[in-house]
Amino acid sequence: MNLEAKRQFAIIACAVGLGAVAAILTGNHIEGNIKKATAKLSQEYETKQIKPLQRDLETLRKEIKQLASRQVVIAGSGQDSQSQTPSVPKSSLALRTPAGKRAYTVMIDSLSAVGGLINPGDYVDVLAHMEIPIQHKTGKNTITSMVFQNAQILAVGTNLQAPGGYEKQQEARSLNITFALTPEEASLMSFIEKNGKMQLILRAPAETETEIMQAASWGALSEYVFEKQGTELLVPHTQMPLEAVTTGGDAPTTFIDIYRGGVRN
């Protein structure tokens, strides 16, 4: 190879090397520009998304502060009315008592209170076992009668709303049951409490009807068993008291004339 050919070969090799270096530098430059553009676009996107959210949050904070200040003003202006009528908490028994009714509490043994299986909000019928004095005689006559129907229970002990608690109620010997009663019913309940014993009968939630029922007695039991079972029970009959009547004179006479030895006495 002559000198001229070597020179041309060297020029070509140098040109190829320079081209390769230029290509590498150009690629690095382009990649750098792409990264810069991508970062810029990403920053601009985040700025456009975050700034509106920050503005919305700041607006919400201002609105919350304004509402809080308004509530403080309203509470301050209502202090006079609140001083006249004290506020009542939502769990208050007074708020749970229906209009026209009164909250009346009785102590009843757990077994008579449906075995303790009752809750506030339940409705019950109330049976009364009472001892009624017998007129003109010593002793008392015990009767059983339905006295109240569909009576609402407001509380069991201090429980105003929570269901359950049956185990503790069953373990207790007696329970304090608070009813919603009319003033007249409350008065009669107090009388029954002092002169007899009560028993509760739990109602189904959908059962709201009431019916007229006669007092339980030997006669009523005999009629019921005969009507439902066809069995006639031999039960004691209540004797009517014998009362004296006046025939116009001073001395009273009775319905029965007594004869001794064929002579009227």
Is there a domain that residue 149 lies in?
yes
Is residue 73 domain-shared with residue 46, that is, in the same domain? yes
Least confident of 5-9, 73-77, 220-224: 73-77
Whether residue 75 is found in the same domain as residue 167: no
Q: For the chain, what is the domain count?
A: 2
Which of the two residues, 46 and 103, has the higher pLDDT score?
103
Handedness of CA 123, 105, 182, 142 (dihedral sign): positive
Same domain for 119 and 80: no
244 compared with 97, residue with greater pLDDT:
97
> pTM of the predicted model, to two decimals?
0.53
Q: Is residue 195 within 8 Å of residue 141, measured between CB atoms? A: no
Give domain status of residue 164, yes or no.
yes
In this structure, the answer to whether residues 106 and 58 fall within a common structural domain is no
Q: How far apart are CA 86 and CA 92, in angstroms?
A: 12
Please give the residue that has the higher pLDDT: either 32 or 239. Answer: 32
Clarify whether residues 136 and 32 are in a common domain: no
244 vs 14, higher pLDDT: 14
Domain boundary among 174, 193, 214: 214
Instruction: Identify whether residues 76 and 111 lie together within a single domain.
Output: no
Q: Is residue 121 part of a domain?
A: yes
Instruction: Provide, rounded to the nearest whole percent, the portion of the chain with pLDDT above 70.
Output: 72
Encode pLDDT of 221-262 as tens digits.
888 888 888 888 887 765 555 455 555 555 555 555 554 555
Q: For residue 114, how many other CB atoms are within 10 A of its CB?
A: 17
Asked whether residue 202 falls in the same domain as residue 171, the answer is yes
* In-domain check, residue 61: yes
Query: Are 103 and 169 members of one domain?
Result: yes
Domain interval for residue 5: 1-87
CA distance 203 to 176: 19
Of the ranges 8-12, 89-93, 153-157, 203-207, which one carries the lowest mean pLDDT score? Answer: 89-93
Query: Does residue 264 form part of some domain?
Result: no
Of 214, 241, 259, the position where a domain reaches its end is 214
What is d(CA 157, CA 162) in angstroms, rounded to the nearest whole number?
11
Cα dihedral 122/127/128/134 (nearest 10) = 160
Q: Binning pLDDT at 50, 70 and 90, where does residue 83 land?
A: very low
**pLDDT given at position 65:** 76
154's CB contacts (< 8 A; 6+ apart) are: 93, 96, 97, 103, 120, 160, 178, 179, 180
Is 198 a residue whose pLDDT tops 90? yes
Average pLDDT score over residue span 101-128: 94
Is 56 found in the same domain as 109? no
Confidence of residue 178 (pLDDT cuts 50, 70, 90): very high
Q: Which two tokens stand for residue 145?
A: 């009668």
* 252 backbone dihedrals φ, ψ, rounded to 5°: -75, 155
Contacts of 109 (CB under 8 A, 6+ apart): 173, 174, 175
Q: What is the mean pLDDT of residues 4-10?
A: 72
In a domain, 43, yes or no: yes
**Contacting residues for 116 by C-beta, under 8 A, at least 6 apart:** 110, 166, 169, 170, 171, 172, 175
The pLDDT of 184-207, averaged and rounded, is 93
40, 64, 87 - which closes a domain: 87
Is 174 within a domain?
A: yes
Element (H, E) at 225: helix 218-229
Q: What pLDDT, on the 0 to 100 scale, is given for residue 81? A: 44
- Give yes or no: residues 201 and 102 share one domain: yes
Q: Are 175 and 157 in contact (CB under 8 A)?
A: yes
User: What is the edge-to-edge ordering of all strands in the sheet holding 196-202?
Assistant: 102-109, 174-181, 140-156, 123-133, 196-202
Residue at 222 is within a domain: no
